[in-house]
Structure 1
Amino acid sequence: MARTSSVRRLVAALSIATAALVGCGDSGDAPPVLPDAQLTETIPMAMEHASVPGAIVGVWQDGAAPYVEAFGVRDTSTGEAMSTDLFMRVGSVTKTFTTTAVLQLVDQGRVGLDDSIDVYVPGVPNGDTITIRQLAAMRSGLADYGEVVIPLLPSQPQRQWTPRELLEIGFSTPPLFPPGTAFDYSNTNTVLLGLVVEKASGQPLADYIADHITGPEALDHTSVGDTAAFSAPHARGYTRTSDGETVDATDWNPSWGYGAGNMISTLDDLSVWARVLADGTLLTPVTQHEREEFQPAPSEGSGSLYGLGVEYQNGWIGHNGSIAGYQAYAYRLPSEGKTMVVLVNSNVDPLGVWNLVTEIVSVVSLDHRWPGPPS
């Protein structure tokens, strides 16, 4: 880990400890304590129900000692145990980085939220009326190329996809509705936003994210996975094919998720990122306010809301992600000063992992329960 990252985390730890002492001195109350024992009892049972081989879970509450634990195995063939420092694929948590990059460019005056996408990328259906804002809010109406590409992955796991190939597949299906009239979660939207970043900044998307997001925040273990290369140590990841077979997808090429699902990170980095995302650290207050104009997103959970590349789940702000072999949840609950990150090495049962997160939240926040599962 780089020196800047170590120093920043040490300062954060000292700040939390100081806050705990000050709070105790002011009120006479004991500092907050997370329900560690209850979490440790709850998580393995929920993992079993979700058929998850391994999980890494972190819960942080301002002023309290963090809860950081690993459960199960990183490799089902060797039985090697999970550990809390593993690199993991994070799927659609990637979208929070890409949309943050776009919003930074808005702050710089290089992109307008209400610009039409055809200013940056030609050939988009309804491109003269679809705005950057609508793409980030998943309200463009563009069909999701993932509906075609994801089923192809088991038969061509090492294929190197280009953004243009992905868009051509998405554009081959007519738009689902007029721009701005409904919500539909589509990877096509965020691929387009990745190209907007490249056009407006003059940098490849991965370089922009490294220079302007992960670098400044010292997220030293977070990167864009442009190829199948995977930093070590990492957990093996397991997925299920259409014929019901569970297979090892660890080394499948994630390039099909360009800008929408191809990043790699760790528990520690995502705990920092969840706070940065919710606090708007990298954006102006005005642009952060635009990001948090949340609208109904029924396919993302019962009562779920979606802003500009970020979810609102009954007070929890962040995003979840699923990619072959892995799932990730990274959220901040500002009203209670809590952060939660859950990483698992299977996407065999997405609903089961949703229920795993539901169980965790039911332990750590009685007033902000996790919403019901997506429709």
Structure 2
Amino acid sequence: MFNQRSSPDKLMRIGNILITPLLVIMAVVGCTPQPRSVDVTTNPTPTKLVPDMRATTTVIPPTETLTPLPPITLDARVAEIEALMTTYEQMDLFSGAVLVAEGGEIIYEKAIGYANREWSILNTLDTRFRVASLSKQFTKILVLQLVEEGKLSLNGTIDLYLPDYTGPGADQITIDHLLKHRSGIVGEPAVQNLERIERDYYTQEKMLELISGFELLFEPGTQWTYSNFGYYLLGVNIERVSGRTYADLMQERICVPAGLTDTFPEVTSDIIERRASGYWFDAERGFIHDSPLDMSFVFGYGHLISTVRDLYLFDIALREGKLLNSSNTNAIYEAEFRPIGDETCEAYVVEDGPASINGFRASSHSYIREDRFVVIVENVRSGGYYLPGVFEVGRNIAAILYGCPYDQPPPHVGD
């Protein structure tokens, strides 16, 4: 991910206990926010969203003998999460929704800020957000389902399935390369005048022509580079091989089994109930609309709408083996130790994100050993101004769950 890993000798690892104090110097930035009304549900006593949400299929490595952390009551942890999110809210540093679960039960959920600033409409827990690259997990699952059925092969090259792609490496790039970002196909940064180009509606034929025009960054399979366009090709592959639309296939194979009611591909021209507007915070101008985006441009890799509750149900369905066989489920759940809080601790986690798209950000954090899950969605990005990233928010919440230190939001000038 984008966060630089702390060196192992400075970390308290949840599983391998080692801790050294870390001095954190807080930045000071200016702003004059107004308090926001709160739309919040906190549950000191956990409540069930659906029955039996505990993971049942994920293979988890044996836990080492642990030095126990000081006991922290559930009520105390929930109160501390609420205090953190209230601070973000009062300082106007967060606009979106958060959900925290433990042991298959929601222990905290809250919506903050405005879904629409022109009409002062507040975000709620039912507000729908663009989830940016969290969409890739849905694409990956649909691809692996087709692999399980023998309709796609991980070792099959894209020229077998997608003759419309005429770019270099068509007879070398495999489905597996695309899934793992090892194809050599460029990402969006290679596109000149991207902000202008992505405003237009793109047919699949036009988009394939655009992607085909780039040279490969490296020989397929030899290196790694994050490629949104690789997942665009996977999205098209899904439709060509199945003979159905991505939306229909996702509804049948993911949304229905997982119980998702607010997750679907966004079509730019559609009127979408309860969808948040996306904003950019500029240091000089304040909140403004982020640059326009036609969702046809991000098909397969950033085109989905969802809510925090749906993203939680999606994680449950995946971990319980409702969407893939056990081998593919475990392949997706490639957990590793990652920093939390102020990065003096690490926890064993599957993280997705930080995902960002025009006006929106999202991330999810599944701490599979302790059966904890944190998901954050936002409808504001920023430039030249401190707003906590979705990873910072998620990892600070995780630090509270584990009893580890975390960075407090910096005070504003004049506060």
Give me the TM-score of the superposition, normalised by structure 2: 0.70
Q: Distance in 1 between matches of 2:127 and 2:291?
A: 13
| Distance verdict in 2 for CA 1:333–1:232, change over 3 Å | same
| Pairwise CA distance, 1:320 | 4.3
Of 40-49 and 91-100, deviating more is: 40-49
Contact 1:43 1:359 in 2 (8 A): no
Quick check: 1:120–1:199 contact (8 Å CA) kept in 2? yes
Q: Which amino acid aligns with 1:132?
A: I
Q: Which one is further off, 132-141 or 343-352?
A: 343-352
Equivalences for 1:181-196 in 2 at 5 Å? 181-196=222-237
Q: What is the CA distance between 1:72 and its match in structure 2?
A: 2.2
SS in 2 for 1:166: helix
Instruction: State the match for 1:315 in structure 2.
Output: 349
Q: 1:226 corresponds to which residue?
A: 267
CA shift for structure 1 position 285: 1.4
Give the letter aligned to residue 360 of structure 1. Answer: I
The CA deviation at 1:206 is 1.6
Task: Give me the whole-angstrom Cα distance separating, in 2, the residues matched to 1:271 and 1:63.
Answer: 10
2:369 — aligned with what?
335
**Separation (CA, whole Å) in 2 of partners of 1:295 and 1:30:** 24
Shift of 1:58: 0.5
Partner of 1:354: 391
C-alpha spacing 1:339/1:289, structure 2 compared with 1 (3 Å)? closer
Q: Could you tell me which of 154, 171, 193 is aligned with 1:128?
A: 171
Work out whether residues 274 and 331 of structure 1, in 8 Å CA contact, stay in contact via their aligned partners in 2.
no
- In the TM superposition, residue 369 of structure 1 has moved relative to its aligned partner by 9.2
Q: Which residue of 2 aligns with 1:143?
A: 186
CA deviation after TM superposition for structure 1 residue 147, in Å: 4.2
Residues 278 and 332, structure 1, Cα contact 8 Å, conserved in 2: no
CA distance in 2, matches of 1:118, 1:145: 22
Give 1:52 deviation, angstroms: 4.5
- Of the three residues 36, 51, 55, the one matched with 2:78 is 36
Task: Report the equivalent of 2:65.
Answer: none
- Residue 202 of structure 2: aligned partner: 161
Give CA deviations for 1:142-176 in whole Å, capped at 9, x if unaligned: 011454278325x874x212233333333333111
Gaps of 5+ in 1: 1-9, 18-28, 304-312, 371-375
**How far does the alpha carbon of each residue in 1:32-81 deviate from its partner, in whole angstroms, 9 at most, with x for none?**
557221112212444677x6451211001116552011122223334332
Moved more, 54-63 or 345-354: 345-354
TM-score by length of 1: 0.77
Q: Is the 8 A contact 2:181 2:226 kept in 1?
A: yes
Q: How far is 1:283 from its partner? A: 0.7
Report the secondary structure of 2:121's partner residue.
Answer: coil
Identity, % of aligned pairs?
26
1:93-115 CA-to-partner distances (Å, cap 9, x unmatched) read 11111110000001111111111
More deviation, 315-324/103-112: 315-324
1:55 to 86, 89, 96: 96
The structure 1 residue matched to 2:302, chosen from 233, 256, 261, is: 261
- 2:17 aligns to what? none
Asked if structure 2 preserves the Cα contact closer than 8 Å seen for 1:34 and 1:364, the reply is no
2:181, 2:161 → 1: CA distance? 18
Choose the corresponding residue for 1:172, options 205, 210, 213.
Answer: 213
1:114 maps to a residue whose letter is: N
Q: Distance in 2 between matches of 1:284 and 1:320?
A: 27
* Contact 1:115-1:131 at 8 Å conserved across structures: yes
- Structure 2 equivalent of residue 206 of structure 1: 247
Change (3 A) 1:149 1:267: farther
Aligned equivalent of 2:123, options 77, 82, 106: 82
Q: Over aligned residue pairs, what C-alpha RMSD do you find?
A: 3.7
| 8 Å contact kept, 1:43–1:360 | no
**Contact 1:33–1:64 (CA<8 Å) still a contact in 2?**
no
Local SS of the residue matching 1:239: strand
Stretch moving more, 274-283 or 329-338: 274-283
Distance in 1 of aligned mates of 2:253 and 2:295:
22
Residues 176 and 63 (structure 1 numbering): CA distance in 2 closer, same or farther, change over 3 Å?
closer
Give the Cα separation in 2 of the matches to 1:12 and 1:45. Answer: 27
User: SS at the partner of 1:288?
Assistant: helix
What secondary structure sits across from 2:187 in the alignment?
coil
1:193 maps to a residue whose letter is: L
Which residue in the other structure is 1:94 paired with?
135
Contact residue 33 and residue 65 of structure 1 kept, 8 A: no
Q: CA separation in 2, counterparts of 1:30 and 1:142?
A: 47
Deviation at residue 335 of structure 1 after TM alignment: 0.8
The structure carrying a bigger strand percent of its residues is 2
